[in-house]
Amino acid sequence: MATARKTLPKQSLADTASTTLLIVKEGTLIGVLVVAVFCLLSLGSYDAQDPGWSAMGDHGRVANAMGSTGAWVADLLFSLFGFSAYIIPGMLLYRSWLIFRDRYTPLQLDAITLGLKFAGALLLMLGLTCLFSLSSLPDHSALPFGGGGYIGLSLSNGLDSLLNPSGTVLLMLALTLFGLTLFAEVSWLSLMDKLGGWTLHLFGIAREALADWWERGREIARHRWKVRQASRALVEEKREAAEHAKLFNAGRMLREGDIPKMEVQAPVGDAQELQEQGSAARKVIDKVVQGTSALVQRGEAVAKQSPPAPRKRSSAALGDVRIPEFELLDTPALDRKTGYSEQELHSFSRLLEDKLADFGISAEVKSILPGPVITRFEIQPAAGVKVSKISNLVKDLARSLAVISVRVVEVIPGKSYVGIEIPNADRAMVYLSDVLLSDTYQSAESPLTLALGHDIAGEPVVADLAKMPHLLVAGTTGSGKSVGVNAMLLSLLYKATPAEVRLVLIDPKMLELNVYEGIPHLLAPVITDMKDAANGLRWCVGEMERRYRLMAALGVRNLSGFNRKVSQARDKDEPLDDPIWLPDPLSMVDVEDQVAPHLDTLPNIVVVIDEFADMMMIVGKK
């Protein structure tokens, strides 16, 4: 308690001192503002006919706004400083702003600082008065001693003989800048840095605007080029169709009766030779007639046949959608050679047993699995033979069998054999039609079934994208990444309708995925701009979160359960309303009259991104 009694008077004194200092600063601020406004109005309403310090006038008529006192002050300031007198109200206003800014800061009176401030103001006034006196821009006749006043006139006359006008201007300009630095604490280097920063910022804005304008121009030019290409292709198709029609009509008009009879005149010569020429000409005409008639009959028969009806699947969103025919795909040749022949396989198996026996390993080939790229020999080692002993002979076996490499499969699931894989001499081409027409692909129920190819045994391999659900295809240039991605996309198109699967394709190179432009499975046109790619991915995230809320509201765990529940309710004529729908307050329909829309089945959305690494580097932060 004693400590509190001792500190209380000190605290009260500090509060009283700060309050007094604040009152003094406010009074000073008011006084400086009044003086600055008085000087500014006096200088602004100056009239040379008013009575003042340098001239006698009519005291009964004073035009100055501040009266005779204002006229006397304005005449004194203009007589001494000329047009530089306007700097005085500016200095006072600047000082009043400093007082207002530092009103809560303790007052610190430093003689050196005050001296520097006063010296800076004096140098500023001297430099400006001399510069205005030497300048010819202001109207000197309007002031008593010219534009620089008496001080400026005296300085210019005194320095003119020493430095000439050019040297005087240079010296006064340096004094003015130095005085402004002392008075207002202006750092010219910092000012140049700020000006340079603002200039660079404005240049960056202009460059970005120019780049956006250039990119928009390129997009417009690219769109116009595509339109021209499409129109040219349409004109070319029409021209070809017209030429085919002309050829077909010309063939139909050709008949046996339309061919003119060949009349052979009997010139002077050998009669037998003429007869042989005539019979040869008749044979040629008969062949032409027969060939043309057969061609016309075949064309008429084909035209009368009705085209095969394409397969269709019903889609609630897009109606009847045609599924591509498998006949569009290339099929392997019947006489193609794949791997080794049966005789070569038996010879190779005996050779493998002999080479293993040479290295002290007794084994017997139990089965042979020929594949498109490699052939696997499943061997049964003798009792007591370790698998590691066979694995250590990989390079020796490759050298003995005269092949590039040998791979040992130490464990085969479900079998007690050891696998030895040997590359085929001729790699067989795996056709997409082989996989799509296989029972493995046809029996798969998932609409996201991907055709991957054949395994080492030549069996088709498919995968369900919904169980991944992310897939990264990587490899060196030319390793077949694009071929694999196109095979996966085609397997999706052959398996699902647009009501089941929708695609978002991002192709910054504009070369790989542009062939899919216009198919009904696309949610949007093929994206080729990285900025649009970022927007598309943000939309996918929003759609994913919306679907999560829908499935949570309906109490289902996945998309198939959601579609099943919506379909069952629709079959019962009891469609489900959107549980997360909110009325639109900006709609033309009243909020009370707005009705929630019915739920419909949702398709799977597959996003395919080409050059994923480039997109991460460009728009990774977005």
SS (H, E, C) 62-95: CCCCCHHHHHHHHHHHHHHHHHHHHHHHHHHHHH
Confidence bin at 47 (pLDDT 50/70/90): confident
Q: What is the pLDDT of residues 4-32, one digit of tens each?
A: 444 445 556 556 767 777 787 788 888 88
pLDDT given at position 546: 92
Please state which of the ranges 141-150, 210-219, 491-500 shows the lowest mean pLDDT: 141-150
**CATH fold of 497-582+593-621, please?**
Rossmann fold (3.40.50)
Q: What is the pLDDT of residues 356-370, one digit of tens each?
A: 888 888 898 988 888
pLDDT given at position 5: 42
> In the numeric block, which tokens belong to residue 599?
């739920």
pLDDT given at position 529: 86
Q: pLDDT: is 287 or 468 the higher one?
A: 468
pTM (2 d.p.): 0.47
Residue written as tokens 């006064």? 172
Segment holding 112, helix H or strand E = helix 111-134
Between 3.30.1050.10, 3.40.50.300, 3.30.980.40, 3.40.640.10, what CATH number should domain 342-423 receive? 3.30.980.40
Q: Where are the domains of the chain?
A: 15-193, 342-423, 430-494, 497-582+593-621
Q: What is the pLDDT of residues 418-433, one digit of tens each?
A: 999 988 877 778 888 8
Q: Among candidates 618, 531, 427, which has minimal Cα distance to 215?
A: 531
CA dist 496 and 493 (Å) reads: 6
Q: What is the pLDDT of residues 537-566, one digit of tens each?
A: 889 999 999 999 999 999 999 898 999 999
Is the CB of residue 607 less than 8 Å from the CB of residue 526?
no
Per the DSSP assignment, residues forming a β-bridge with 418 are 379
Q: What is the pLDDT of residues 156-178, one digit of tens each?
A: 888 877 878 778 888 888 888 88
Strand-strand pairing, 460-464 and 449-454: antiparallel
Helix (H) and strand (E) counts for the chain? 16, 10
